[in-house]
A and B are shown apart, each in its own frame.
Chain A
Amino acid sequence: MNTAIKKYYYGDIPDGAADNSNIKNNTATENAWPLWEVFIRSKQGLDHKHAGSLHAADAQMAIENARDVYTRRQEGISLWVVESKYIHASNPDDAEMFYEPASDKVYRHPTFYDLPEELKHM
């Protein structure tokens, strides 16, 4: 299914249409900063929520950068940063098998139980 995409959209300028004859090839030689995931608590009493990621040399600088990048409009009152390599994720290919056992246990939901209308405060 490698259909060539010939129509050029806004923000998608084809490589071929540009004159690339003068390209110098400098490879990334510098030490790259690690990637961090940023979590923001928007106000007291709420959970920290994933906001995005950024690169920084260490945790302190990651927090400072996250302040500048993700909270320019008072989006948060508390920040967490976690180096991305320490995040472990479930495998999307296993999702069906992994989460399926919960799908036939409707009795775990309050709506499963038929109760008389007269019953109050429940």
Chain B
Amino acid sequence: MTLHDLEKAFQHKIDNEIKIEPKDWMPEAYRKTNLRQISQHAHSEIVGMLPEGNWISRAPSLKRKAILIAKVQDEAGHGLYLYSAAETLGTSREQMIDDLHSGKAKYSSIFNYPTLTWADMGAVGWLVDGAAILNQVMLCRTSYGPYARAMVRICKEESFHQRQGFETLLVLSKGTKEQRDMCQDAINRWWWPSLMMFGPKDSESTNSDQSMKWKIKRKTNDELRQNFIDMIAEQIKLLGMTLPDPDLKWNEERKHYDFGEINWEEFWNVVKGNGPCNKQRLAARNKAHDEGAWVRAAALAYSEKRKNRLNNKAA
């Protein structure tokens, strides 16, 4: 088969909703796009543990601490499912970790914002995980089989994250004035960065969109962002709080909420490494990896020892 035939057969599969599996032929650009996206997604789960890890030792009760630990543990698991999916595209775990630690690979910019108060744990769960879930639900139907399967598993676990976040804020919203202020302040700080999570506006691109054609993605950034805003603008009423956007209002004609302009300069600045916590996050990852070196070495040494003991017994 010529390259052209292979590409035609590949697109035919995609058009007929047949998943692509690791050993199937795929265009190099499809492999690369998936690899970049899945590994960035994995890195986001791993770095995403840091802003929340910050509050484990300071959670206001044992219940909240147990919940937070479970959530952070889930995120480690999600990172692992995704690294495994990325590895099926022909990279190694070590390479991906190296790329993250050197700053070459990217992760979601949202995790470069600091978590200043306990209410941030609620806002992160509700807004940040809420935004992530919209994307992940869509990705359950992505065309690359291992990615789709990882997403199904992740979505099952993720819904508790968002619910616990909302509940955390709900409790604060019924509390003292200080607690209500803290709740509103966290929402104010996380709202715009959450909207930026969906990426640049669709109009920024004039290119035909290969990712959609290959069904890696099935919704555009603007579609997902609008879904999110419509959802949150209703949910916030239950909290009795407000979203920090004076232009936010229901548009009867569009049947969607209109919203104000996003500060894209801030977005690109954080992507380029100049966010409030970029350096801190990478430093924390590198430190954890370096300080864990002896554990990895010990595990290998122990497996050798166990193997030798078995061999000696057999002899």
Interface residues of A (CB under 8 A from B): 1-13, 15, 17-20, 22-28, 30-33, 35, 52-58, 60-61, 68-70, 72-73, 89, 91-93
Contacts and interface: CB of A to CB of B under 8 A. Distances in A.
Interface of B: 7, 21, 23-25, 27-29, 33, 36-37, 40-41, 44, 70, 73-74, 77, 80-81, 84, 87, 92-95, 97-98, 101-104, 106, 108-109, 135, 149-150, 153, 157, 197-200, 202, 204-211, 217, 221, 224, 268, 271-273, 293, 296-297, 299-300, 302-303, 306-307
Nearest to A28: B94
Return the 8 tightest CB-CB contacts between A and B, nearest first.
A28-B94, A58-B303, A7-B205, A57-B303, A13-B106, A57-B299, A6-B207, A12-B37
Nearest to A13: B106
A57 B307 CA distance: 11
B284 to A, nearest CB: 17
A113 B91 CA distance: 51
A72 B36 contact: no
Contacts of A89: 23
16 contacts: A1-B27, A8-B221, A10-B135, A10-B221, A11-B135, A12-B40, A13-B271, A15-B36, A26-B102, A32-B94, A52-B153, A53-B87, A61-B303, A72-B74, A73-B157, A93-B25
Contact of B7 (A1, A57, A58): A1
A24 B102 contact: yes
B273 A19 contact: yes
Contacts of A2: 27-29
Nearest to A5: B210
B296 A30 contact: yes
Contacts of B204: 7
Contacts of B293: 30
Nearest to B305: A58
Nearest to A22: B103
- The DSSP consensus for interface residues of chain A is loop
Given A32-B93, A73-B157, 8 more contacts: A5-B211, A6-B207, A7-B207, A9-B221, A12-B211, A26-B101, A52-B149, A54-B84
B87 A35 contact: yes
Given A2-B28, A10-B135, A92-B21, A19 B37 contact: no
Residue of A1, A28, A30 with most chain B CB atoms under a 10 A cut-off: A1
